Structure 1
Amino acid sequence: MENSENIILVPYDFTEVAMHAVDHAKSISSKNNIKICLLHIVKKDSDIEPSLQKLNEETALIKDKYNIETQGIVREGTIFKTINEVAQEMNAIMVIMGTHGIRGMQKLTGSWALKVIVGSKIPFFVVQEKPIDCEVKKIVFPVDFKTENKEKLYWAEFISKLVNT
């Protein structure tokens, strides 16, 4: 889990919910000297250049608002594979992703956020709202007597240190 780069990856789709994820990332970043990288995913290569220009404008606005540097990356792909691929390439310490909630057919097929997270080796924070200025007092996760729970405990401790520094 040690990472010399200390990067939080934030999937960014230019929505209010994505900006809430940036707000959460900023909160953790400022306490721990961690860089923030915004990732925008496009469906075809021809969309990369205009999207990168728009993303660079957004990173400039974020710098003005928070006085923090953010890096912007645009990749061709799907959210279901590309977010995890980029997170692993960057050796990100976590992904903070905004979600719009379950709608329509997702009630039957499952949420998109869950489909992105499944199989990830990197912790995800999934958010819908802006952060509330308060310290984290509890981290809750399911536990049984399987050996995998040692890893869950390790991640809970890791996240606790990040949010309460």
Structure 2
Amino acid sequence: MFDRICVPTDGSDAAAAAFEHILAIAADHDATVHLLHVADTTRDSVTRIGGDVVDVLEREGDSIVADAADRAADRGVETETAVRQGGVPETIVAYADEIDADLVAMSTKGRQGMEHLVGSTTERVVRQSPVPVLALRPGDEETRYPYEDILVPTDGSPAATAALDRALPVAKRAGATVHVLSVVETGGIGVGDHIEIDVLSKYAEDAIADGIARAEDAGVDAVGAVEGASSAARGIRAYVDDPGVDFVAIGTHGRTGVGRSLLGSVAERTLRTAPVPVLAVPTRAED
């Protein structure tokens, strides 16, 4: 499923910790890890050392990706390394496209006070990336792999279907159970709005049924749930904690209006709050 994984790294403790989880995935899929360090051009980096003019950020980047490549070699994972200059999110997306990556995997936290792999950068990569982005929060390296319980929130939209289609091969490979969840948003619904709740519930039930059927056709065990919550993001987070899952695959765009559930903003809030790895899947990744 994964052949070429783009892994941006800034050498921070958070990036190093997440890398252990990424290596487990790469080893399982016999994938090549393409290590990328972005020398952020918003910072002055050229200096003179002795008689030579050098770019200290590029020199630092060379060291960072070399250290990461050594760690990968210890796990038997093949790597390619690159150091590029540019804006961080844009350079990551461009590099992933250049190497024809099928996954970008990155930490949601980076160096404090530096515009490298901070949460906002991850979200900007998610918005721009034509391929799925695996976001790993600090502490996710402790999450078991292979995964055992995979959550796919759905509103029946093409984005939700794309996320499910990405999750099913992962689940089948691991023998994991897929949890198909649809959240009925109750925030803003007042007394007398029972008809709208009924309509939302019907959308949710249909989306769950379609998702379970898709999983069963793929030979994957699946369970479905319809949950009410003040917002989709809160419903997703509550389900992650109880009954508990160790991986979330979510579409980055979804329905609006009556069938609303998976808006891009919901995916971003899930990236920020979920205590487990989150795979953000763009609709066009389905093509």
Superposition TM-score, scaled by structure 2 size: 0.47
2:10 to 8, 13, 20: 13
Is the CA contact (8 Å cut-off) linking 2:35 and 2:82 kept in structure 1? Answer: yes
Matches within 5 A, 1:1-165: 6-44=3-41, 46-47=55-56, 49-55=58-64, 57-59=66-68, 61-63=70-72, 65-100=74-109, 111-127=120-136, 128-129=138-139, 130-161=141-172, 164=174
Distance in 2 (alpha carbons) for counterparts of 1:135 and 1:59: 22
| Residues 76-101 of structure 1 deviation map (CA, whole Å, 9 limit, x = unaligned) | 11222111111111111211101228
Is the strand fraction higher in 1 or 2? Answer: 2
> Which one scores higher on RCO, CA 8 angstroms, separation ≥ 6?
1
How far has the Cα of 1:135 moved from its partner?
A: 3.3
Which string of whole-angstrom CA distances, capped at 9 and with x for unpartnered residues, describes residues 94-137 of structure 1?
Answer: 11101228x99xxxxx7332122113221111112224344312
Structure 1 residues 59 and 136, CA gap change in structure 2 (3 angstroms): closer
Report the number of matched residues.
155
Q: RMSD of the alignment, in Å?
A: 2.9
| Deviation at residue 63 of structure 1 after TM alignment | 4.5
Q: Give the Cα–Cα distance (whole angstroms) in 1 for the partners of residues 105 and 72 of structure 2.
A: 18
Contact 1:12 1:40 in 2 (8 A): yes
- Return closer, same or farther for 1:48/1:115 CA change in 2, 3 Å cut-off: same
Query: How far apart in 2 are the matches of 1:126 and 1:63?
Result: 19
Q: What is the TM-score when the length of structure 1 is the normalising length? A: 0.77
In 2, are the aligned partners of 1:59 and 1:72 still within 8 Å (CA)?
Answer: no
Give how far 1:150 is off: 2.1
Q: Is the 8 A contact 1:7 1:35 kept in 2?
A: yes
Per-residue CA shift, 1:131-157, capped at 9, x if unaligned?
A: 434431222233113233321221222
Specify whether residues 56 and 9 from structure 1 end up closer, same or farther in structure 2 by C-alpha distance, changes over 3 A only.
closer
For the structure 1 residues 60 and 10, does the alpha-carbon distance in structure 2 shift closer, same or farther, using more than 3 Å as the test? closer
Gaps of 5+ in 2: 47-54, 114-118, 176-287
What residue is the counterpart of 1:107 in the other structure?
A: none
